[in-house]
Chains A and B, each alone.
Chain A
Amino acid sequence: MSDRLTNPEKTLRIGPMMTMGHIPDLDPRMRIVLAALFAVVVISLSDLIALCLAVLVAVTLLPLSGLPAKRTFKRMAAMDGFIIFTLILLPFSVAGTPMFTFLGFDASWEGLRQAVEIALTANAVILALMCLVGSMEPVTMGHALHALRMPEQLVQLLMFTTRYIETLREEYMRLRAAMKMRGFRPGTNWHTYRSFGYLVGMMLVRALERSERVLGAMKCRGFMGRFVLLEQFRMTDRDWLFAALMTAASVFLLVVQFRHAFA
């Protein structure tokens, strides 16, 4: 758990100061909207050429986003890990022209095609999402979502999570260190399960108590149940240009998809 949250990896960006790419300077609201638009368009594609082009668009975004390519591809591969079994099983589960037979099961060309489609769709969407949205601080994302009129409660949940995840992680690390100092070594036995149960339980109790203290502190500063956020965003010419390019790319993908219908 703790290794997943090492400092430099908390956001995809290396640090708040990193401005290698152009995308991090663009309006975050627009980036979220464009990521959503791109995702919807790509999901509606089934033509393999269109899908390959979609992946190409997403790959083009990568150098613009300033994200480290290697780590980003690693994260993409991690997502692929979730769908790999679906992809492997699809040729066997979809009926159609047999490709080959494995242990008495027929693999179909139609199934393979579907698997490729899903793999391309998923990777294009996730890569574009990482480049457009993953390159912003969670805090900025919260503000942008608020500016996009997302439900206030959800935005607040996100903001509180980003604020307290580090505090919780530190608490976890402290408790873990304390356990280690008393000779605790995790194994496959009841003592380990029970101890981890206590650890999680203790963190829950502390989190609950903390939430009460935080609410108290908020009341002391006049909190009446409504948040007012400070940040204001403004679209610049560069933002509009980027939005126009991304929209054009999405429309182009749709044109490629439906080119036979137009012809």
Chain B
Amino acid sequence: MPLLELRDISFAYPAHAPVLEGANLTIHAGERLSIVGPNGVGKSTLLKIAVGLLRPSSGQVLAFGQERRTETEFAEVRRRIGYVFQDPDDQLFCPTVAEDIAFGPLNLGKSRDEALAIVDDILQQLHLTHLRDRITHRLSGGEKRLVTLATVLAMEPEMLLLDEPTNALDVENEARLIEILQNLPQAILLISHNPEFSAKIAPRGYGLRAGKLERLAG
């Protein structure tokens, strides 16, 4: 059973030409795939459709063996798929790092103490403990990126969607990110314009052109 399957997805933003026209994608547990393609072809749109932030005009989203249509159905999907947004400022909205990481677990019904335990756990795992009580908007670009990953991992997702995670990362932080991602058990669906990075994280994948996904050789 695939973790995520997109069948014949079509999507158009209001008053715009369609971005996706019959896109198909399948990803299994532990699998790592990247989606490549020029700017504005709908790569991010596809990820948003996968977690129900956007609804396709036609086609089906199947996650964890079930078709997902309604907000409630997608709420469960979002708990099991972690989405790292393109801009960390969109994702880190709590005042402090600890609170931001605890936000997900608290939403999942964890108690305050459990959430704090998860916070410390994740920070230690990613070697970010020194950032625990920092104010999120005062973090550097690289720190923000690593913390967004921590906020997502805190929910123990089965799969990660990464939207250009190397944006605004310096060489050192990029190496850290690669090291972290390579050691994670989760399936990964990656959007990246950075060929070296994709080669290390998810060498195989799809090309998105003219609204359709084509499986790339390799």
Q: Which of A142, A217, A232 contacts B93 (CB 8 A)?
A: A217
Chain A 123-164, CB within 8 Å of chain B: the 1/0 string?
000000000000001110010000000000000000110111
How far is it, in angstroms, between the C-alpha of A217 and the C-alpha of B102 when the chains are bound? Answer: 14
Give the contact-size bracket for chain B.
35 or more
Q: State how many angstroms separate the Cβ of B90 from the closest Cβ of chain A.
A: 4
Check A220 for interface membership: any CB of B closer than 8 A: yes
Q: Is the CB of A217 within 8 A of B95?
A: no
Q: Which of A18-26, A37-45, A208-216 contacts B (4 or more CB under 8 A)?
A: A208-216
Q: State how many angstroms separate the Cβ of A160 from the closest Cβ of chain B.
A: 7
- List the interface of chain B (C-beta within 8 A of A): 48, 51, 53, 75, 78-79, 81-83, 85, 87, 89-91, 93-96, 98-99, 102-104, 106-108, 112, 115-116, 135-138, 151-152, 155
Q: State how many angstroms separate the Cβ of A175 from the closest Cβ of chain B.
A: 16
Q: Which of B75, B89, B99, B155 contacts A229 (CB 8 A)?
A: B99
How far is it, in angstroms, between the C-alpha of A138 and the C-alpha of B99 when the chains are bound? Answer: 15
Central interface residue in A138, A167, A216, A224, by most chain B CB within 10 Å? A216
Q: Which residues in A have their C-beta under 8 angstroms from that of B48? A: 216
Q: State how many angstroms separate the Cβ of B137 from the closest Cβ of chain A.
A: 4
Q: Which residues in B have their C-beta under 8 angstroms from that of A139? A: 95-96, 135
Q: Which residues in B have their C-beta under 8 angstroms from that of A220? A: 51, 53, 78, 81-83, 152
Q: Which residues in B have their C-beta under 8 angstroms from that of A216? A: 48, 53, 85, 90
Nearest to B92 among chain A residues (CB) is: A163
Q: Which residues in B have their C-beta under 8 angstroms from that of A233? A: none
Nearest to A223 among chain B residues (CB) is: B107
Central interface residue in A214, A217, A219, by most chain B CB within 10 Å? A217
Q: State how many angstroms separate the Cβ of A61 from the closest Cβ of chain B.
A: 26
Q: State how many angstroms separate the Cβ of A90 from the closest Cβ of chain B.
A: 42
Check A9 for interface membership: any CB of B closer than 8 A: no
Central interface residue in A167, A222, A224, by most chain B CB within 10 Å? A222
How far is it, in angstroms, between the C-alpha of A156 and the C-alpha of B106 when the chains are bound? Answer: 16
Q: Which residues in B have their C-beta under 8 angstroms from that of A167? A: 89, 137
Q: State how many angstroms separate the Cβ of A152 from the closest Cβ of chain B.
A: 14
- 12 additional A-B pairs beyond A163-B94, A221-B155, A224-B75, beta carbons within 8 Å, are A138-B95, A142-B95, A163-B137, A214-B91, A217-B90, A220-B81, A222-B75, A222-B104, A222-B108, A228-B115, A230-B99, A232-B112
Which of A150-188 touch B at CB < 8 Å? 159-160, 162-164, 166-167
Q: Is the CB of A159 within 8 A of B106?
A: no
Nearest to A158 among chain B residues (CB) is: B95
A-B contact pairs, 12 of them (CB 8 A): A139-B96, A139-B135, A214-B90, A216-B48, A216-B85, A219-B78, A221-B103, A221-B155, A222-B79, A223-B107, A224-B75, A228-B112
Q: State how many angstroms separate the Cβ of A54 from the closest Cβ of chain B.
A: 33
Q: Is the CB of B90 within 8 A of A210?
A: yes
Q: State how many angstroms separate the Cβ of A9 from the closest Cβ of chain B.
A: 15
Q: Is the CB of A230 within 8 A of B116?
A: yes
How far is it, in angstroms, between the C-alpha of A167 and the C-alpha of B136 when the chains are bound? Answer: 11
Q: State how many angstroms separate the Cβ of B79 from the closest Cβ of chain A.
A: 5
How far is it, in angstroms, between the C-alpha of A139 and the C-alpha of B106 when the chains are bound? Answer: 19
> Known contacts being A220-B78, A228-B106, is A213 close to B87, with CB within 8 Å?
yes
Q: Is the CB of B85 within 8 A of A213?
A: yes
Q: Which residues in B have their C-beta under 8 angstroms from that of A228? A: 102-103, 106-107, 112, 115
Check A235 for interface membership: any CB of B closer than 8 A: no
How far is it, in angstroms, between the C-alpha of A216 and the C-alpha of B50 when the chains are bound? Answer: 13
How far is it, in angstroms, between the C-alpha of A217 and the C-alpha of B81 when the chains are bound? Answer: 12
How far is it, in angstroms, between the C-alpha of A87 and the C-alpha of B90 when the chains are bound? Answer: 47
Q: Is the CB of A221 within 8 A of B137?
A: no
Q: Which residues in B have their C-beta under 8 angstroms from that of A16? A: 135
Q: Is the CB of A160 within 8 A of B93?
A: yes
Q: Is the CB of A214 within 8 A of B104?
A: no
Check A5 for interface membership: any CB of B closer than 8 A: no
Q: State how many angstroms separate the Cβ of A37 from the closest Cβ of chain B.
A: 27
Q: Which of B75, B95, B115, B151 contacts A163 (CB 8 A)?
A: B95
Q: Which of B85, B98, B112, B155 contacts A222 (CB 8 A)?
A: B155
Which of A222-262 touch B at CB < 8 Å? 222-224, 228-230, 232
How far is it, in angstroms, between the C-alpha of A217 and the C-alpha of B90 when the chains are bound? Answer: 7
Q: Which residues in B have their C-beta under 8 angstroms from that of A222? A: 75, 78-79, 104, 107-108, 155
Q: Is the CB of B152 within 8 A of A163?
A: no
